[in-house]
Each structure stands twice: as structure tokens, then as C-alpha cells.
Structure 1
Amino acid sequence: MTAAIAIALASLLAVIAGLHAYWGRGGLWPAATEDELVATVIGNAQAKRMPSSGLCLLVALAIAVTAIWPLLLTWVSDAAALRRLILLGGFAIMAVFLLRGVAGFLPAWRRLHPREPFASYDRRYYSPLCLLIAAGYAVLLLQGP
């Protein structure tokens, strides 16, 4: 069961990393224009452009690293020091996704990201997905290899 959760999490995060890399290379999907993309994936009222290519690619790299972690949590059981490092990283990643998921439902976040369709998508999809990812990490961290 934990292997299936790890593979599902790794696959999901790899797709999300790929999407961020695509945006970093100038891709516009799921929008037709940069302004529509900003409204869909950022939602900040002051943002007029997507973040720089370098920043998008850095985020893609960070998410790609988080995609590897579920597999490490599941399959690395030897070397106590390495296992502790993997667990610590897993807890940190889980905390980031948990905080991002909760943030999406807070009034302060809503004020920072009011543009539609982001505001609606965030409540319906983005924040719940972050909470689901955090829950997947929690299961892996509690189950062990």
C-alpha cells in the first residue's frame, strides 16, 4: 500500500514539476495569454506577468526533488543517519504542503490572491491538492519503509 502511495505521489509531483518547467520555458497552457495564465495560476491582483523563467525553473526543480522523496521514504531503510535525513526532509516537505493547503482557505491569502479564476480554483483544487499531498506524506512518514 505504501509503495502505491509513494508512486502516486511521485508521479503527481513529477507532473506538477513538469508543468512549472513548461511555464518557465514560456508555455501558456491552460490559458491563451500570459495575463490569463497569471489570473489562473497566480491570482495576485498586482501581478501582470508570470514570474521569471529562472524562478519558474527553480520551483520546478524544487518540486521535482519533492517527487523523489516519497520513493526515498518508502525504499530507504538502511543507514540510520541517511534514514533520519530522509525523514527530516519528508517532514519539512509535508509541512510546506500542509501550510500551503491551509493558507488557501485563510482570509489573508484570499486578499493576496483575489483574481479569478485562481481564487475559485484555489479553493476547489489547488489547496485541497496540497492538503492531499501533505496527507500522502504523513502516511508514508508514519508507515515507514
Structure 2
Amino acid sequence: MSMLLAALVFIPLLAVAMGYALWSVGATWPIRNQELLAKTVVGTPGITRMPSRWTSLLAAILTLGAGITALSLADHDSGGTWLTLLGIVCAAAFLARGWAGYRPEWRRRYSEMPFADLDRRVYSPGALAIGLGFVALVIMRLL
């Protein structure tokens, strides 16, 4: 059961990591241009370009690392206490990101469309689901 849950956490993280990796080399897929991509992914008012390519590369690495952590948590014999603690950190990070997306301060800071709408319908609920997945993986690991 834990391996299935780990895969369900890993797959969306892999997809996001692949997007960030593509954006780090200048691609705009699946969006037609740089400005719309920035408004879709970042969402700060007045944004016209994605942040630096290094930022996208770092986001890709961290997101893929979180996905690999999820897969590792499913193996109860690997990583010891440090891996469990890393799983807790990942859970906290994704739950905090998901929760933040519903805060009025976040809504004001990231109000550009279509990000604001996608954040309410996809990004924040997705982060909460991934965070809950990490919580469940850590609990299963401890039982």
C-alpha cells in the first residue's frame, strides 16, 4: 500500500519537475509564450518573464528530490530516522504551501491571472494532497 501511495505522490512531482527542467532551458511548453507562462506559473502582478533559468533548475531539482523522497519513504528499511525526518519536512512544506494559497495575503501577492484561478483550483489543493501523502507515508513508515 505504501508503494502505491508513494507512486501517487511521485507522479505529479515528476511532472512538475519536468516542467521546471524544460523552463530552465528556455522552453515555454505547454504555454505559447514567455509572458503567459510567467503569469500562469508565478502569478505576481505585472510579471512578464519567468524568473532566472537557475531558479527553474533549482525548483526542478528540489521537486524531483521530494518525489524521490516519497518513493524512498515507502521502503521501511531505508534511510533510517533521517529519511523519516526528511519526509516530515516535505509534508510540512507542501501542507504550508497548500494552506498559504488560501490566505488573503497570498491572494494579494499572487493575483495575476491565470495563476490566481489555477492556484485556487489546482496548485493549492494539489500541494495539500501531496503534503497529506507525505504525512501518510511517514505514518506508515512508523507503524
TM-score interval, smaller chain: over 0.9
Tell me if 1:36 matches 2:36: yes
* Structure 2: runs of 5 or more not aligned: none
Q: Which moved more, 1:113-122 or 1:27-36?
A: 27-36
AA matched with 1:101:
G
Q: Map residues 59-138 of structure 1 onto 2, 5 A cutoff.
A: 59-77=59-77, 82-138=79-135
**Cα shift at 1:32:** 1.1
1:75 alignment partner, SS class: coil
AA matched with 2:17:
A
Identical-residue share of aligned pairs (%): 35
Which whole-Å deviations, capped at 9, do the CAs of 1:30-80 have from their partners, x for residues lacking one? Answer: 3211111111111101422101111100110011111111121111425xx
* Structure 1: runs of 5 or more not aligned: none
1:133 & 1:33 partners in 2: Cα distance?
A: 29
* Match of residue 18 from structure 2: 18
CA RMSD of superposed structures (Å): 1.3
Is 2:76–2:141's contact at 8 Å kept on the other side of the alignment? no
Is 2:36–2:48's contact at 8 Å kept on the other side of the alignment? no
Runs (4+) of structure 1 moved beyond 6 Å?
Answer: none
2:85 & 2:19 partners in 1: Cα distance?
A: 27
Tell me if 1:56 matches 2:53: no
